[in-house]
């Protein structure tokens, strides 16, 4: 199970990824350590007691310089002192596709590693672990699936089903039919095949179009060259050369061209991979190791030979079937073979033009979309703003201590020379994240064609001023909007429109929460104190949703926050200052996703 980690060692702190694993994880996978030992049976025997960890090979090389003396040293993982007992082998990066892990921790340490999620060992309704098993050589995957689902079905019906609360009969019937999904584990656990299917199919289609255009062009050139050599072929045939031998010679020439093109394409592919990795967001690039491995090379070789043979075959057959008499006497008539070749060349030309036009249209639409996205009005000013995330909850901070840290951070950052505003939010802006909840608004009735759903965010004082979101009426949040003070909210124009508030929203009341038979899950205990202009929330290309904001200082459970700091100077120069401010308040607390807001927007355009 992947989890976020704050790591501190010898004065250096980073944010990264850890993996919670059982003591049988490495033995089942057949993994051998590069140094020391790996986690083993017994390391997960007692809940919260095995404070040992294994480093990934890449993390060991990068942050520990590959030193063998790291064994038995202390590494702070999410505020817990963990003893380093070993290093995983080079190339092993876990069994879940995604961010590359830095550390492996016993699964029984979950409550200490992820306090917000608790232990989860006593809650039989909580499903959060992936299982791996190694089959005996004589056991098939299907027979293993059948063997597992026998006892699993009994557990579901006799133990799990009675624990489920509030399920409809239909949902309960589906629950009782649940089965273990056993699949081949060689590729690990990942949803990438589902998530990436559409873009990969589109990319493969475009590549296929380009390949067909190139092949049609080569076939035309081979036909033209064959026409120029028709006299030579006629002479060879007339003096007894076998046609099959001539076809083989011409196919060899075509395949030679294809092989040269295939080798050149591999060189271009290698350069293109580097370009793609440079363009991709750092988080996405970190999860991918681009390389031209043997399967890719074999596929490229087969495709090269296959296309060379297919598109070289007709020119070879045509070139060895001239009208011998016409060719030898230099006559200019149009024998049937020449007419067939002309029709074939015309068909190739038409196909080239059609495919080229399709690609041009697609490229034009893509370019237009890029330009449109670049011209979108965000509703905020992303210039000269630095953003980053801190997660003190991972270091064992309780909610009150986290809130105090966030307030100090806002104050300390505001005091940095050149800073004109510092604030925070629970949900990052324009980063693909999205929170939704049910809302109850004074005077609004939920009907069959309406719903009471709205996006929301918890933010700090000065949020709208710092991000350049214009206040249309009312006021900003203030430091006094804290726990114990009257609950307040600010709404955007889309919210006011959806809930029929008009422009006179200040003073109206609202509430949030679940519903019971159409009644509010909470009272209308929040006063709307401001109206702001619409601004993009989750994605640049998405429509602006109805949204309301509440002060994070009025929430009892705050764990991690995204900070936004505006400067009148160069935003890049502020990156180092932000790191120093956080280190001064807590040297074991790393910054995550430290960058300018404009960089964040550009990285999440798609």
Domain ranges of the chain: 2-113, 141-177, 191-333, 385-605
Please say if the pLDDT value at position 327 is more than 60: no
End-to-end CA distance of the chain: 27
Sign of CA dihedral 323, 326, 327, 329: positive
Q: What percentage of residues in the chain have a pLDDT greater than 70?
A: 89
- Who has greater pLDDT, 551 or 2? 551
Among 328-337, 339-348, 439-448, the least confident range: 328-337
| Residue partners of 531: CB distance under 8 A and separation at least 6 | 471, 472, 473, 474, 490, 491, 492, 493, 496, 503, 505, 506
- The confidence score (pLDDT) of residue 193 equals 57
Helix (H) or strand (E) holding 16: strand 12-21
pLDDT-based confidence at residue 509 (cuts at 50, 70, 90) = very high
pTM of the model: 0.71
- The confidence score (pLDDT) of residue 581 equals 94
Cβ atoms < 10 Å from Cβ of 441: 26
Mean per-residue pLDDT over the chain, rounded: 84
- The confidence score (pLDDT) of residue 517 equals 44
Please say if the pLDDT value at position 461 is more than 90: yes
Please say if the pLDDT value at position 323 is more than 80: no
Please say if the pLDDT value at position 596 is more than 50: yes
Phi, psi of 390 (to 5 degrees): -125, 140
Cα angle, residue 354 at apex, residues 351 and 357 outer, rounded to 5°: 145
pLDDT-based confidence at residue 120 (cuts at 50, 70, 90) = low
CB 365 within 8 A of CB 49: no
Please say if the pLDDT value at position 333 is more than 60: no
- The confidence score (pLDDT) of residue 51 equals 92
- The confidence score (pLDDT) of residue 192 equals 59
Most confident of 78-92, 309-323, 326-340: 78-92
Chain segment 556-566, per-residue pLDDT in tens: 888 889 999 99
Which residues pair with residue 532 across a beta bridge?
471, 492
Please say if the pLDDT value at position 29 is more than 70: yes
Chain segment 144-174, per-residue pLDDT in tens: 889 999 898 898 888 888 877 777 788 888 8
Can you tell me the distance from the alpha carbon of 470 to that of 458, in angstroms, rounded to the nearest whole number? 18
* Strands (E) located in 325-452: 385-390, 419-425, 436-441
Can you tell me the distance from the alpha carbon of 185 to that of 132, in angstroms, rounded to the nearest whole number? 7
- The confidence score (pLDDT) of residue 493 equals 94
């Amino acid at each position: 199970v992947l989890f976020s980690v704050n790591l501190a060692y010898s004065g250096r702190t980073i944010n990264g990824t850890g993996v919670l694993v059982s003591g049988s994880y490495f033995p089942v996978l057949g993994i051998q350590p590069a140094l020391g030992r790996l986690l083993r049976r017994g390391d997960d025997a007692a809940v919260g007691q095995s404070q040992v960890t294994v480093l990934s090979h890449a993390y060991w090389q990068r942050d520990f310089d590959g030193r063998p003396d790291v064994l038995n040293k202390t590494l702070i993982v999410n505020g817990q002192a963990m003893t380093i007992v070993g290093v995983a082998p080079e190339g092993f990066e876990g069994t879940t596709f995604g961010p590359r892990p830095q550390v492996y921790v016993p699964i029984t340490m979950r409550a200490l590693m992820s306090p917000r999620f608790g232990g989860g060992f006593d809650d039989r309704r909580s499903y959060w672990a992936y299982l791996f098993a190694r089959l005996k050589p004589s056991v098939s995957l299907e027979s293993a699936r059948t063997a597992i689902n026998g006892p699993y079905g009994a557990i579901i019906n006799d133990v799990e089903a009675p624990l489920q609360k509030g399920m409809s009969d239909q949902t309960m019937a589906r629950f009782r039919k649940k089965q273990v999904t056993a699949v081949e584990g060689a590729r690990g656990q990942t949803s990438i095949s589902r998530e990436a299917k559409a873009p990969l199919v589109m990319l493969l289609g475009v590549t296929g179009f380009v390949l067909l255009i190139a092949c049609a062009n080569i076939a035309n050139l081979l036909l033209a060259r064959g026409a120029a050599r028709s006299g030579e072929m006629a002479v060879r045939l007339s003096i007894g050369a076998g046609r099959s031998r001539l076809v083989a010679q011409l196919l060899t020439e075509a395949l030679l061209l294809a092989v040269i093109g295939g080798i050149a394409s591999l060189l271009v592919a290698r350069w293109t991979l580097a370009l793609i990795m440079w363009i991709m967001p750092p988080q996405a690039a970190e999860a991918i190791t681009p390389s031209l491995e043997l399967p890719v090379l074999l596929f490229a070789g087969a495709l090269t030979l296959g296309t060379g043979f297919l598109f070289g075959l007709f020119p070879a057959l045509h070139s060895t079937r001239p009208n011998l008499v016409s060719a030898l006497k230099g006559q200019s008539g149009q024998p049937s073979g020449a007419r067939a070749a002309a029709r074939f060349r015309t068909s190739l030309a038409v196909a080239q033009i059609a495919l080229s036009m399709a690609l041009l249209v697609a490229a034009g639409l893509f370019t237009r979309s890029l330009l449109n996205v670049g011209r979108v009005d965000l509703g905020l000013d992303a210039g000269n703003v630095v953003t980053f995330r801190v997660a003190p909850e991972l270091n064992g901070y309780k909610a009150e201590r986290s809130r105090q840290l966030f307030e100090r951070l806002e104050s300390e950052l505001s005091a940095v020379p050149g800073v004109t505003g510092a604030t925070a939010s629970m949900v990052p802006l324009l980063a693909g994240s999205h929170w939704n909840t049910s809302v109850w608004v004074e005077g609004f009735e939920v009907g069959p064609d309406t719903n009471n759903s709205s996006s929301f965010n918890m933010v700090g004082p000065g949020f709208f001023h710092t991000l350049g979101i214009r206040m249309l009426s009312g006021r900003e949040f203030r430091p006094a909007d804290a726990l114990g003070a009257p609950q307040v909210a600010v709404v955007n124009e889309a919210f006011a429109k959806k809930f029929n508030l008009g422009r006179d929203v200040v003073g109206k009341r609202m509430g949030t929460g679940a519903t019971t038979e159409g009644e509010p899950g909470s009272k209308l205990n929040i006063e709307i104190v401001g109206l702001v202009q619409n601004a993009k929330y989750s994605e640049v290309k998405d429509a602006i949703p109805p949204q309301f904001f509440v002060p994070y200082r009025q929430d009892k459970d705050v764990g991690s926050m995204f900070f936004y700091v505006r400067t009148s100077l160069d935003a890049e120069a502020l990156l180092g200052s932000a790191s120093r401010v956080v280190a001064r308040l807590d040297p074991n607390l790393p910054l995550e996703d430290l960058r300018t807001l404009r960089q964040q927007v550009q990285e999440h355009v798609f």
